[in-house]
Amino acid sequence: MPGWSCLVTGAGGFLGQRIVHLLVQEKDLEEVRVLDKVFRPETREEFFNLQTKTKVTMLEGDILDAQYLRRACQGISVVIHSAAVIDVMGESPRETVMDVNLKGTQKLLEACVQASVPAFIYTSSIEVAGPSSYKEIVVNGNEEEQHENTSFHPYPYSKKMGEKAVLAANGRTLKDGGTLLTCSLRPMYIYGEGSQFLSDTIIKALKNNDILGIVGKFSTANPVYVSNAAWAHILAARGLRDPKKSPNIQGQFYYISDDTPHQSYDDLNYNLSKKWGFHRDSRWVPPLPLLYWLGFLLEVVSFLLRPIYNYQPPFNRHLVTVSNTVFTFSYKKAQRDLGYEPPVSWEEAREKTSEWIGSLVEQHKGTLNTKTQ
């Protein structure tokens, strides 16, 4: 197939960076354009030093700037849209989350039509499927079961509406007369080295005598390692570029998990960090229904204080629900249609993440020692 080019939005993010690293290894990829609102200096340097023949063009711009998006899409063969505001705690205004995650996606789709980009891959989220209630139980769910999150919390709602817009755009006529082909990937909770969430968890634990905070004691999840989630995007790009080979993926969504054992979020954090002397928190945890209603009370307090003080509760109903439910999904459909096999095993993923946690521990303890001197 002739040379091609790819635009990755959210390229400075945890998943976006991995996608770029795998993309530049693709043969015949002439250019990758990496787009984000602002790149951290270390990310900029990392992209600058990529060992590749592929041209890497860095673009800093707003996903809500339609003209900028149209210029960014000019001459592009595939768009991978992983930019999003991920907000479980409700720290960002609802309008911001809806603007970036829904309006930004709609504007990018329109830019693809105007610039005649034939393929569009959307990084969706497991939260599009749910859980809608802490009572919901899904074990090895699949795409045919049609799980849909009925919550109006801005993050899952905006991602759900964004995904609907992407899948509805499949088959749209492009400006040059071609056809737009789209698909959507719904990764599970993504872990691995570079995860901001994991980093925050470890730093909090270091300040708490190496005791890990309680995140989701009642959950059963099947998290996905970051490189495996990124690999699924590469396969989707190949599939949409060669529709004759993979006619089934157009207009479809896929759950992306791997062979990480099903476990609670608390067990995952412990399994990744125990090598460095971290312990589980053995304190009593209220039953799930009580936790849920405590979350509701905290939200009410936050709402009542808003005119005079911006109180951020330690947790809310949405966090209690997503982090304490039995909610696991199979990757069989991605295996069948995309040829997806997770390239990184659980053992390797655990080892790599654990080594990275070790470097965080060293770095943080070094900072603490400097402060005490």
Categorize the per-residue pLDDT at 367 as very low, low, confident or very high, splitting at 50, 70 and 90: low
CATH number of the domain located at residue range(s) 4-195+223-260+329-345 in this protein: 3.40.50.720
Q: Which of 122, 155, 157, 191 is catalytic?
A: 155
Does the pLDDT of residue 11 top 80, yes or no? yes
Is residue 55 a contact partner of residue 76, using CB atoms and an 8 Å limit?
Answer: no
Selection from 157, 24, 5, 16 nearest residue 81 by Cα = 16
Is residue 344 a contact partner of residue 227, using CB atoms and an 8 Å limit?
Answer: yes
209: left (phi over 0), alpha (psi -120 to 50) or beta: left
* Residue ranges of domains in the chain: 4-195+223-260+329-345
- Report the pLDDT value the prediction gives residue 365, as an integer from 0 to 100: 77
Categorize the per-residue pLDDT at 176 as very low, low, confident or very high, splitting at 50, 70 and 90: very high
Tell me which residue has tokens 């990755």. 8
Categorize the per-residue pLDDT at 372 as very low, low, confident or very high, splitting at 50, 70 and 90: very low
Q: Rounded distance, CA 24 to CA 126, Å?
A: 27
Per-position b or e across 131-143, b if 16+ CB within 10 A of its CB: bbebeeebeebeb
pLDDT, tens digit, 9 for 90 and up, residues 50-98? 888 899 999 999 999 999 999 999 999 999 999 999 988 878 899 999 9
What is the reported pTM? Answer: 0.94
- Report the pLDDT value the prediction gives residue 2, as an integer from 0 to 100: 66
Q: Rounded distance, CA 119 to CA 55, Å?
A: 20
- Report the pLDDT value the prediction gives residue 214, as an integer from 0 to 100: 87
Number of H-type helices and E-type strands within the chain: 13, 12
- Report the pLDDT value the prediction gives residue 3, as an integer from 0 to 100: 86
Is residue 173 a contact partner of residue 179, using CB atoms and an 8 Å limit?
Answer: yes
Q: Catalytic residue at 155?
A: yes
Helix (H) / strand (E) element for 203: namely helix 196-206
Does the pLDDT of residue 369 top 60, yes or no? no
Is residue 88 a contact partner of residue 322, using CB atoms and an 8 Å limit?
Answer: yes
Mean pLDDT score, 287-293 = 95
